[in-house]
Chains A and B, each alone.
Chain A
Amino acid sequence: MIENIPLQYFLIVGTLMFFIGVFGFLTRRNLITILMSVELILNSVNINFVAVNRYLYPNNLHGHFFTIFIIAIAASEAAVAIAIIINIYRKFSSINVENVSSMKN
């Protein structure tokens, strides 16, 4: 049963996922992979919310609601990002971050 797994395990998984996501966002060079890293970050937040809601505050549903909205928004964000990535592929013939930089810093 789920009660046999302590809350800490969920929080550790959530935090690990969050930082793996941040690490991937900063080091990956492919736009799609960067987008996947963002999804990791958002899903780590989902794990946090749902686990905390289930273990610490079973009387309310704020965490569950929040998670549902995060999933929906992550989907729309991915849709917009992928649409722009397709446009970038048409313009630059590449989705590597190194090649997609026409502006000087």
Chain B
Amino acid sequence: MQIETLLLMRHEMVLVIIALIALFYEIFSKGNNKQKFIPIFIGIYFINTIIGFLPQSEGTIFGGMFVLSGVQLIMKNVLNIGVLIVLMQSAGWLKKAENKDNMLEFFVLLISTQIGMDYMISSGDFLMFYLGLELATIPIAILAAYERNKSKSAEAGIKLILSSALSSGILLFGISIFYMISGSIYFDEVATFMVNPNPLMALGLVFFFAGMSFKISLVPFHLWTADVYEGAPISVTSYLSVISKAAAAFIFTMILFKVFGQLAYLWKDIIYVLAVLTMTVGNLFAMRQQNLKRFLAFSSIAQAGFILLGIISADKIGLTAVIYFALVYIFSNLAAFGVVGAVSNFSGKETIKEYNGLYKTNPKLSLVMMLALFSLAGIPPVAGFFGKFFLFTSAAQGGYYWLILIAVLNATISLYYYLLVIRAMFIESNETPVPNFKSDFFMRTGIVISVLGIFIIGFIGPIWDYIKVVVDSF
């Protein structure tokens, strides 16, 4: 094997090096030196994000276990941008007295999950896919239980690890059925057996669907989501709701298209039902929430339902729309989580009532929150609108007009509960509002990047065109 072929794993290799740097700093740093590492680490990660965009050759290694093409590259770069923003937004929280001592663990675990996601996205067989999936979920459970002195955090951790273990068990049972039919675990070889329909395949597909739906938290497999999101630290919640969800949605879409493309007539119906359920239930539950983390959890469940609209068309436009939507969703959701994180870091307040009158004291944060929520709802000038628009377009090309009607109705419902938060910030009065405060440099930069993303992405046509060209050659 040549060195050049190993360089196909450049994204993962750089991330491994970054994780090792953090580990060695942990060993050799003494006492209070750890705080200095935050800017260094974010700088290193920024360089990694830039390296990700450098030209890269394409190909497969390890006998087809690891595949790299333009689509996978785009997905990894999208994740890189998201993780960079998450790291920036978590800097202030990591500097707190109770987290100061083991902040390097946070970096190591976060980067390991991203390595897992990158391998999962690049997988060419079910073994690599499973290993990447587990590497992406096990460290996240540790991260969810990161705040050792809070009982909620431990509860979130155990709920996450147990439900993800169950879901990967179900997923594995599905994979074992695929192996039973085809005698292979490679995507290409399994795909060739999908031409002749077989009841066993449908059974395997059901198990596979159930397992993956847990990971993307589709209704009716969403029950762990709200508790985990509420209990976990905000940085981890934003990471879970944006990065891991986007990665799982990417690989789910790719496996459905690549391996089960022949069975599209089977899984389109499942996706249809799941999309309607997920959007509706997510929205209805989001309306009743008072805690903003829970609120954003249910809103992210509803957004996952919209992603299914891109999958159902089972063509390249759909894949393009999913990637584009994920990019937009990363910026909008991270802007919202950034504001929630900044307010919570400063005052510990997380419910909607406590946000009453936020505009009077913190006008900038309120405006950012409004913008993020408008983008999540899909109001025209901001990027969220374009993301939803392309998803609807791809579903329309498949002729799913009723589904689009339901989705539009749901987008309208979602506007109602997003406006509840905006009303609380701008109209409601409050005798003890969150006082005016200034968050640290990295938090502000992270929020500014997200806001720029929300504003700009919708108006830069080349981004959509670029993703489309790459996906077409896939």
Contacts from A to B (Cβ < 8 Å) = 14, 18, 21-22, 25, 31, 34-35, 38, 41-42, 44-45, 48-49, 52-53, 56-57, 60, 62-63, 65-66, 69-70, 73, 76-77, 80-81, 83-85, 87-88, 91-92, 100-103, 105
B353 proximal to A (CB < 8 A): no
Instruction: Check A84 against B173 for contact (C-beta < 8 Å).
Output: no
16 contacts between A and B (CB under 8 A): A14-B176, A38-B162, A42-B165, A45-B176, A56-B180, A62-B127, A62-B184, A76-B134, A77-B138, A81-B141, A84-B158, A88-B151, A88-B154, A88-B158, A100-B155, A105-B226
Q: In the complex, which residue of chain A has the Cβ closest to the Cβ of B157?
A: A84
Instruction: Check A80 against B141 for contact (C-beta < 8 Å).
Output: yes
| Complex interface: chain A residues within 8 A of B142 (CB) | 80, 83-84
B152 proximal to A (CB < 8 A): yes
Contacts from B to A (Cβ < 8 Å) = 126-127, 130-131, 134, 138, 141-142, 145, 148, 151-152, 154-155, 157-158, 161-162, 165-166, 169-170, 172-173, 175-177, 179-180, 183-185, 226-227, 230-231
Query: Which residue of B169, B183, B226 is within 8 Å of A45 (Cβ)?
Result: B169
In whole Å, how far is A7's beta carbon from the nearest beta carbon of chain B? 10
| Complex interface: chain A residues within 8 A of B175 (CB) | 45, 66
In whole Å, how far is B208's beta carbon from the nearest beta carbon of chain A? 13
| Complex interface: chain A residues within 8 A of B176 (CB) | 14, 45, 48-49, 52
Query: Which residue of B158, B172, B230 is within 8 Å of A103 (Cβ)?
Result: B230
In whole Å, how far is B139's beta carbon from the nearest beta carbon of chain A? 8
Instruction: Check B183 against A60 for contact (C-beta < 8 Å).
Output: yes
Bound CA–CA A87/B169 (angstroms): 24
Bound CA–CA A87/B185 (angstroms): 38
In whole Å, how far is B178's beta carbon from the nearest beta carbon of chain A? 10
Query: Which residue of A42, A52, A84, A87 is within 8 Å of B179 (Cβ)?
Result: A52
Query: Which residue of A45, A52, A87 is within 8 Å of B172 (Cβ)?
Result: A45
- With A41-B166, A87-B145 in contact, do A92 and B180 touch (Cβ < 8 Å)? no
Instruction: Check B145 against A84 for contact (C-beta < 8 Å).
Output: yes
- With A45-B172, A45-B173, A69-B127 in contact, do A81 and B165 touch (Cβ < 8 Å)? yes
In whole Å, how far is B91's beta carbon from the nearest beta carbon of chain A? 25
| Complex interface: chain A residues within 8 A of B169 (CB) | 18, 21, 38, 41-42, 45
Instruction: Check B155 against A77 for contact (C-beta < 8 Å).
Output: no
Query: Which residue of B148, B162, B183, B226 is within 8 Å of A81 (Cβ)?
Result: B162
Bound CA–CA A25/B165 (angstroms): 11
- With A52-B179, A62-B185, A102-B151 in contact, do A31 and B127 touch (Cβ < 8 Å)? no
Instruction: Check A100 against B158 for contact (C-beta < 8 Å).
Output: yes
- Which of B130, B152, B165: most chain A Cβ within 10 A? B165
Bound CA–CA A77/B158 (angstroms): 11
| Complex interface: chain B residues within 8 A of A21 (CB) | 169
Instruction: Check A77 against B227 for contact (C-beta < 8 Å).
Output: no
Instruction: Check A65 against B231 for contact (C-beta < 8 Å).
Output: no
Q: In the complex, which residue of chain A has the Cβ closest to the Cβ of B158?
A: A84
Bound CA–CA A45/B169 (angstroms): 8
| Complex interface: chain A residues within 8 A of B177 (CB) | 48
Q: In the complex, which residue of chain B has the Cβ closest to the Cβ of A62?
A: B185
Told that A22-B166, A70-B172, A87-B154 touch, could you supply 11 new A-B pairs with CB distance under 8 A?
A: A14-B176, A25-B162, A25-B166, A45-B175, A52-B179, A53-B179, A62-B183, A66-B130, A80-B138, A84-B154, A103-B155
Instruction: Check A52 against B180 for contact (C-beta < 8 Å).
Output: yes
Instruction: Check A103 against B231 for contact (C-beta < 8 Å).
Output: yes
Instruction: Check B226 against A66 for contact (C-beta < 8 Å).
Output: no
Bound CA–CA A62/B158 (angstroms): 32
| Complex interface: chain A residues within 8 A of B226 (CB) | 103, 105
- Which of A22, A35, A91: most chain B Cβ within 10 A? A91
Bound CA–CA A69/B130 (angstroms): 9
| Complex interface: chain A residues within 8 A of B184 (CB) | 60, 62
Bound CA–CA A70/B169 (angstroms): 10
Q: In the complex, which residue of chain B has the Cβ closest to the Cβ of A43?
A: B169
Instruction: Check A77 against B231 for contact (C-beta < 8 Å).
Output: no
| Complex interface: chain A residues within 8 A of B162 (CB) | 25, 31, 34-35, 38, 81
| Complex interface: chain B residues within 8 A of A83 (CB) | 142
Bound CA–CA A81/B142 (angstroms): 9
In whole Å, how far is B209's beta carbon from the nearest beta carbon of chain A? 16
Bound CA–CA A25/B127 (angstroms): 25
| Complex interface: chain A residues within 8 A of B179 (CB) | 48-49, 52-53, 62-63, 66
Bound CA–CA A85/B166 (angstroms): 16
| Complex interface: chain B residues within 8 A of A35 (CB) | 162, 165
- Which of B154, B176, B180: most chain A Cβ within 10 A? B176
| Complex interface: chain B residues within 8 A of A80 (CB) | 138, 141-142, 161
Instruction: Check B158 against A92 for contact (C-beta < 8 Å).
Output: no
Bound CA–CA A22/B169 (angstroms): 9
Bound CA–CA A41/B471 (angstroms): 37
| Complex interface: chain B residues within 8 A of A91 (CB) | 151, 154
In whole Å, how far is A23's beta carbon from the nearest beta carbon of chain B? 12
Instruction: Check A76 against B138 for contact (C-beta < 8 Å).
Output: yes
